[in-house]
Amino acid sequence: MKKILVTGGAGFIGSNLIRMMLSEHEGYEVVNLDVLSYSGNLENLTGCEGDPRYSFIKGDVSEPDTAASAIEGCDAVLHLAAESHVDRSITGPRPFVVANTLGTQTLLEAWRQAQGGEGAPFVYISTDEVYGSLPLENPEVRFTEDSPIVPSSVYSASKAAGDHLAHAYHHTYGMDVRITRCSNNFGPYQFPEKVIPLFVTNLMEGRKVPLYGDGLNVRDWIHVDDHARGILATLERGKAGEVYNLGSDNERSNLELTHMILDIMGTGKDMIEHVEDRLGHDRRYAIDSSKAQRELGWQAERSAWPDGLEKTVQWYRDNEEWWRRVKSGAYREYYEKQYGVR
């Protein structure tokens, strides 16, 4: 049995990852370290609490003592804890640097102190956003692991600083640090400030969907289960010091995505509310994941559209109680301020 520390396990990707580790892999024991920020929700892990292979610690990765005690006895770290929403990093940058940059350094240092030398694997869950933005004009160009790191939002810059620290801990101390850079995730339990659950739940409430700018920004959409499988493949078959891009060749403009959601929900284009573009909005992300295919034997399997999107929309339809609770209170205030619409 391997004891794995998962940070940020009460969030969207972390909770799906933990559920997969417990249900599809008998050999993992999971310790979930999560501060339970606005997007951390233990309801995302309903059903896991009773599993003897699961335990939860409420705590902050950027606190050295918390990090040190959480990693005690662990055989590996999957580090996902982060402030994750670009819009929030525009209105309030500081928490991103604390959680994403200082938090990553604190956890790396705790792991170094505990392990000494090369030690056991530390997988840092980064993002394709660290590569910055691609122009729309060259659709054949995609990010590889060797593309320059030129992040353009505070979110991606604070994550990229984590990439650099992870690399530095490998280079300087010889630690077994591995990095994944995945594209945009969709699936169950995503906090409804992110575009897919935001649009679906707005439509269920009879509200319009706020589409940024001209809607032509392109993202590569991957199912959260494929991301989780990629993280586990990196843990099981990845190599120290290596970076693995994880994507699904499923590039869609926000406009196309919006039209697909409207179609699935059976509503008209009049439900689109065009809002001012996000500051510094990256135009296109596209990712070449051939290295992960070659070296990890991984490829996206559950991400194909329209099927994957339809199933995800259905999940939000079937789990109204979950998102209605999440979407109350402070969420409403933030949403109205962000989009200037009620």
Q: Which is nearer to ligand NAD, 1 or 330 (CB)?
A: 330
d(CA 82, CA 280): 21
Number of residues that bind ligand NAD (CB under 6 A): 31
User: Is position 20 an interface residue for ligand NAD (rule: CB under 6 A)?
Assistant: no
- Taking the alpha carbons at both ends of the chain, their separation in whole angstroms is 50
CB atoms within 10 A of CB 61: 29
d(CA 67, CA 64): 5
User: Is position 12 an interface residue for ligand NAD (rule: CB under 6 A)?
Assistant: yes
Question: Count of H helices and E strands in the chain?
Answer: 13, 12
d(CA 203, CA 197): 10
Q: Which of 32, 62, 202, 217 binds ligand NAD (CB under 6 A)?
A: 62
Least separation in angstroms between CB 239 and ligand NAD: 20
d(CA 11, CA 42): 8
Q: Among all residues, whose Cβ is closest to ligand NAD?
A: 11
Q: Of 31-39, 115-123, 278-286, 320-328, which part binds ligand NAD (CB under 6 A)?
A: 31-39
User: Is position 34 an interface residue for ligand NAD (rule: CB under 6 A)?
Assistant: yes
Distance of CA 68 to the CA centre of its chain: 24
Q: Of 60-68, 110-118, 133-141, 262-270, which part binds ligand NAD (CB under 6 A)?
A: 60-68
CB atoms within 10 A of CB 15: 29
Q: Which of 4, 5, 6, 8 binds ligand NAD (CB under 6 A)?
A: 8
User: Is position 78 an interface residue for ligand NAD (rule: CB under 6 A)?
Assistant: no
Three-state SS at 57: strand
Least separation in angstroms between CB 268 and ligand NAD: 28
User: Is position 184 an interface residue for ligand NAD (rule: CB under 6 A)?
Assistant: yes
CA distances from 174 to 47, 115, 122, 165 (A): 39, 11, 12, 13
Structure tokens at 56: 């939860």
User: Is position 36 an interface residue for ligand NAD (rule: CB under 6 A)?
Assistant: yes
Q: Which of 18, 70, 76, 81 binds ligand NAD (CB under 6 A)?
A: 81
User: Is position 316 an interface residue for ligand NAD (rule: CB under 6 A)?
Assistant: no
User: Is position 197 an interface residue for ligand NAD (rule: CB under 6 A)?
Assistant: no
DSSP codes of every residue in 9-48:
TTSHHHHHHHHHHHHH-TTEEEEEEE---TT--GGGGTTT
Least separation in angstroms between CB 227 and ligand NAD: 7
Least separation in angstroms between CB 139 and ligand NAD: 21
User: Is position 60 an interface residue for ligand NAD (rule: CB under 6 A)?
Assistant: yes
- List all residues 6 or more positions away from 38 whose beta carbon is below 8 Å from its beta carbon: 191, 330, 331
User: Is position 188 an interface residue for ligand NAD (rule: CB under 6 A)?
Assistant: no
User: Is position 193 an interface residue for ligand NAD (rule: CB under 6 A)?
Assistant: no
Q: Which is nearer to ligand NAD, 29 or 128 (CB)?
A: 128
Strand partners, 186: 223
Q: Which is nearer to ligand NAD, 100 or 115 (CB)?
A: 100
Enzyme catalytic residues: 128-129, 155
Phi, psi of 12 (to 5 degrees): -60, -60
Task: Provide Rg for the chain, Cα atoms.
Answer: 19
Q: How many residues does the chain have?
A: 342
User: Is position 11 an interface residue for ligand NAD (rule: CB under 6 A)?
Assistant: yes
Q: Of 27-35, 165-173, 196-204, 256-264, which part binds ligand NAD (CB under 6 A)?
A: 27-35
Q: Which of 5, 32, 103, 265 binds ligand NAD (CB under 6 A)?
A: 103
Question: Interface residues with ligand NAD (CB under 6 A)?
Answer: 7-8, 10-14, 33-37, 39-40, 60-62, 80-84, 99, 103, 125, 127, 159, 182, 184-185, 191
